[in-house]
Amino acid sequence: MSELQTQPISAEQAALDSRTLRLVRILLPVVVLAAGIAVWDLVVRINDIPPHILPAPGAVFWTLIVDWPVLSQSLMTTLTTTLEGFVAAAVGGIALALLFNQSKWLEYSLFPYAVILQVTPVIAIAPLLLIYLPQQAAVIVCAWIVGFFPVLSNTALGLNSVDRNLAGLFRLYGASRLQTLVHLKLPSALPYILGGLRIAGGLSLIGAVVAEIAAGSAGAGSGLAYRILESGYRLNIPRMFAALLLLSAAGIVIYGLLALTSHLVLRRWHESALGKEN
């Protein structure tokens, strides 16, 4: 009667499997993207669809090259607004969450208003902000509004999710509130904070685009959202698709950079990063 024997996996084999998995995770989205572009081009060619209704992929990429001076300038405008709104959301959300953690009375007083701010559609707030604020300030505030609440809520959740046994140990040794915050609560909340920042990065881009659309409808603005509106008015659909492509690429890059930052910060000690290769 034979017995099954399990062979231990060597370090070289494990490294090879890890590299293969990373390669598959990169190649599969590329293959899906290539297939989607091929189907898109085939549909346009077979049905002889005019460019002002649905441009072919080649026309979009050619427009991206030809109109790059205009589109790149608009891209930088949108990215600048997104970055300013994101930084404001990150600083404000983390700072307010720290205050909430130190004072429950403050949390009970202000957190409901943060929820109200989050659930109010930014597309309804943007025209009002454009009345009372300068255009650029209003656009930044819209980007801040959308990105603020995820940072606040995730940071507050992380600060309130500290192991009660560790918190009791800190109290037993007479740690001050500041020492407990710096050496226990903040390290424990760091994965939550980074998760909130990843969400806020993409939402800040959405807020900036929404505000630019509101500003563009009044005849001002030079971001990518305004270029999309302008292209629609002129039936320049290839440029519209090119601007949408740049917006999507910007969102992917923002999320990728924030995810990479999170991985680099957590990779040596937190399970969410340690298990990514498994």
For 101-124, the pLDDT digits (tens) are: 888 898 888 889 988 888 888 888
Query: Residue range 163-172: average pLDDT?
Result: 83
CB-based burial label for 6 (10 Å; 0-12, 13-18, 19+): exposed
Model confidence over 185-237: pLDDT tens digits? 888 889 999 999 999 999 999 988 988 888 765 444 578 888 888 888 888 89
d(CA 214, CA 223): 11
H/E run at residue 242? helix 237-266
Q: Which CATH architecture has domain 56-277?
A: Orthogonal Bundle (1.10)
Owner of token pair 């607004």: 81
With a cut of 60, say whether residue 143 has pLDDT above it.
yes
The pLDDT of residue 233: 84
Where in the chain are the domains?
A: 23-54, 56-277
1-15, 200-214, 235-249 — which is least confidently predicted? 1-15
Instruction: Note whether 89 and 122 are within 8 A (CB).
Output: no
Q: How many residues does the chain have?
A: 278
Contacts of range 267-274, beta carbons closer than 8 Å, 24 or more positions apart = 270/190, 270/191, 272/191
Q: Work out the average pLDDT over 71-77.
A: 89
pLDDT at 275: 53
What average pLDDT is seen over the chain? 84
Residue pair 94/193 in contact (Cβ under 8 Å)? The answer is yes
pLDDT in tens, 35-55: 999 999 899 889 888 888 889
**Tokens coding 16:** 């090879």
pTM score, two decimals? 0.82
